[in-house]
């Protein structure tokens, strides 16, 4: 019996394009992230793929087909939108004044792919140079990571 190999050359690109479309249209969202009283609809599988923190949190609780709400108190809504754009698209363009808060938020959330960016610092002209030592997770979060009920997952960074 002879086997045949088939490959869709743009499979991964198509998949990520669909995920991004679903994110923008809130189609099939199965988790809500709340920052500064505003909601962002997202997808658990994409969050787990893009963040070790979300993966640990979302796989550690049983949801019983309920929509979890992640309440994040010390990351701004704007920063969270930018981080989610990075998770869904793999790239972002940000102004210089957002770099430090995004660096801290991405570090707290353990966003995959941000590691090299997180270790860099900017020179006076806005160009990247050198590396920066990152504070420990404990010092950045003050140990305040909590999750509660199965319907609503609340945690505070």
Ordered domains of the chain (ranges, CATH): 11-154 (3.30.710.10)
Task: Calculate the average pLDDT of the chain.
Answer: 78
Q: Residue 129's beta-bridge partner residues?
A: 121
Higher pLDDT, 129 or 58: 58
Instruction: Say yes or no to pLDDT of 130 above 60.
Output: no
Instruction: Say yes or no to pLDDT of 149 above 90.
Output: no
Provide the whole-model pTM.
Answer: 0.73
Local confidence band at 122 (pLDDT 50, 70, 90 cut-offs): low
Instruction: Say yes or no to pLDDT of 115 above 80.
Output: no
pLDDT at residue 110, rounded to an integer: 92
CA–CA dist 66, 60 (Å, integer): 15
Average pLDDT (20-34) is 94
Q: From residue 155, give the alpha-carbon distance in Å to each of 22, 60, 120.
A: 25, 13, 28
């Amino acid at each position: 019996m002879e086997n045949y190999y088939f490959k869709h050359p743009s499979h991964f690109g198509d998949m990520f394009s669909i995920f991004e479309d679903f994110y923008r249209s809130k189609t099939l969202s199965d988790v809500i992230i709340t920052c500064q009283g505003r909601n962002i609809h997202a997808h658990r599988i994409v969050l787990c793929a893009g963040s070790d923190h979300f993966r640990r949190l979302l796989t550690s609780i049983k949801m019983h087909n309920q929509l979890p709400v992640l309440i994040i108190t010390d990351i701004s809504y704007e920063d969270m939108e930018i981080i989610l754009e990075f998770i869904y698209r793999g790239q972002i363009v940000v102004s210089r004044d957002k770099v430090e808060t995004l660096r801290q938020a991405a570090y707290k959330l353990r966003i995959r792919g941000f590691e090299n960016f997180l270790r860099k610092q900017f020179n006076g002209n806005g160009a990247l140079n050198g590396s920066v030592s990152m504070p420990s997770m404990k010092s950045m979060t003050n140990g305040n990571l909590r999750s509660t009920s199965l319907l609503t997952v609340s945690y505070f960074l």
